Chains A and B, each alone.
Chain A
């Protein structure tokens, strides 16, 4: 399974944009890039996913590099509720369809 690399932690101030990077240099052509987040003492929740094009939804935006070897999750205006561990995951729906979690990025948001 292809691996992802994320910074262990990041900090942001409330209402500022946050850019969470992820490197996945061994990504294959059939891997989708998924982001989940885990709030304290809760199970993970889906944030966004994409294959090649940038994606937007009500929670965040996902910017994917042209060579697909990296991606960035963008929170446009961080809130205190966004403090969580963010996981960047490669998912191959054809061959394995399993989520392989790394250790993620712990995001701290300060008021």
Chain B
């Protein structure tokens, strides 16, 4: 149980385009989903927390208009990187949780490369 999927697993795009990444909880309903960014050989950096049906809460320094998050249902959250630039290239990971104190489960990650 507690499986989280992400799609796509890898994406290469041109500078200026927008990229959407989906995060799904496959066998449970997630009240909260999280989006992380990870640079090579670094730890995970929390970007935002999203709850179904409400606006995402962004961490300090993360641009809301750059990284659009939609949590349309209890099993789906999307992250859209708008007008992507090479500096947005990174490994993006989502996680989902039924309740925060119960732990979170991670998706396999999406590797974004912006040319």
Binding between chains A and B: no
A interface vs B, CB < 8 Å?
A: none
Interface residues of B (CB under 8 A from A): none
